[in-house]
Amino acid sequence: MIAAPQTAEFPTESTFSRSDWEALSHMWYPIALEEEITDKPLAKKLLDVNLVLARLGDDYVVAKDLCVHRGAPLTEGWIKGSCLVCPYHGYEYEADGRCTKVPSDPDWKIPPQIRLETYLHEVKYGLIWVCLSGAPINALPVWEPEADNPDYLRFTMGPELWDCSAGRAIENFIDNAHFSFVHRNTFGQESSAAQGAEYEFAESDTAMTMAFDYLAGNPDDSPIANSSELQRKMHRTLFLPFCTRTCIAYPGDREHIIHINIAPISAKQSQLIVVFTRNFDKEVPVEDLLAWERKILGEDRAMIEKQKPEEIPLAVSTEVHAKADRASIAFRRWLKKVGLGRTFTA
Instruction: Give backbone dihedrals phi and psi of 265, rounded to 5 degrees, phi first.
Output: -75, -50
Type of residue numbered 297: L
- Report if residue 144 sits inside a domain: no
Task: Determine the residue type at 258.
Answer: I
Q: Which of 14-18, 129-133, 335-339 has maximum average pLDDT? A: 129-133
Q: What per-residue confidence (pLDDT) applies to 304?
A: 96
Please indicate, yes or no, whether residues 117 and 158 belong to a single structural domain of this protein: no
Per-residue pLDDT at 109 exceeds 60: yes
The pLDDT mean for the chain works out to 92
pLDDT at 140 over 90: yes
Same domain, 127 and 158: no
Domain holding 267: CATH number? 3.90.380.10
Question: Which DSSP string corresponds to 226-241?
Answer: S-SEEEEEEEEEEETT
Number of domains in the chain: 2
Please determine, for residue 214, whether its predicted confidence score (pLDDT) is greater than 70.
yes
Q: 323 pLDDT band (50/70/90 cuts)?
A: confident
For residues 52, 21, 28, 26, the Cα torsion angle rounded to the nearest 10 degrees is 120
User: What is the average pLDDT across 333-341?
Assistant: 90
Give the sheet arrangement for strand 83-85, strand by strand. 78-80, 83-85, 92-93, 99-101
What secondary structure letter does DSSP report for 105?
-
| 332 DSSP assignment | H
**Model confidence at 346: pLDDT above 70:** no
Query: Is 165's pLDDT higher than 70?
Result: yes
Least confident of 121-125, 228-232, 259-263: 228-232
Is the pLDDT at 43 greater than 80? The verdict is: yes
DSSP 1-64: -PPPP-PPPPPTT-SS-HHHHHHHTTS-EEEEEGGG--SS-EEEEETTEEEEEEEETTEEEEEE
Among candidate residues 131, 162, 186, the one where a domain is terminated: 131
Tell whether 162 and 279 lie within a shared domain: yes
pLDDT at 287: 95
Smallest CA-to-CA distance from 281 within 153, 143, 124, 138 is with: 153
Give the Cβ contact number of residue 276 at 10 Å. Answer: 21
Domain limits for position 191: 153-344
Domain presence at residue 324: yes
Give the rounded percent of residues in the chain with a pLDDT score beyond 90.
82
In the chain, pLDDT over 70 holds for what percent of residues? Answer: 97
Same domain, 195 and 298: yes
Residue 250 domain-assigned (yes or no): yes
122 with 177, same domain: the answer is no
pLDDT-derived band at 344, boundaries 50, 70, 90: low
Distance CA 220, CA 299 (A): 18
The region of weakest confidence among 55-69, 115-129, 299-313 is: 299-313
Per-residue model confidence (pLDDT) at position 225: 65
Neighbours of 193 (CB within 10 A): 17
- Give start and end residues of each alpha helix (H) in 55-183: 166-173, 179-182
What sign has the CA pseudo-torsion 276, 278, 280, 286? positive
**Is residue 143 domain-resident?**
no
Please compute the mean of the pLDDT values over residues 114-119 and round it to a whole number.
96
Supply the CATH number for residue 45's domain: 2.102.10.10
pLDDT of residue 290: 96
Work out the pLDDT band at 178, boundaries 50, 70, 90. Answer: very high
Structure confidence at residue 342 (pLDDT): 63
- Regarding whether 198 and 86 lie in a shared domain, the answer is no
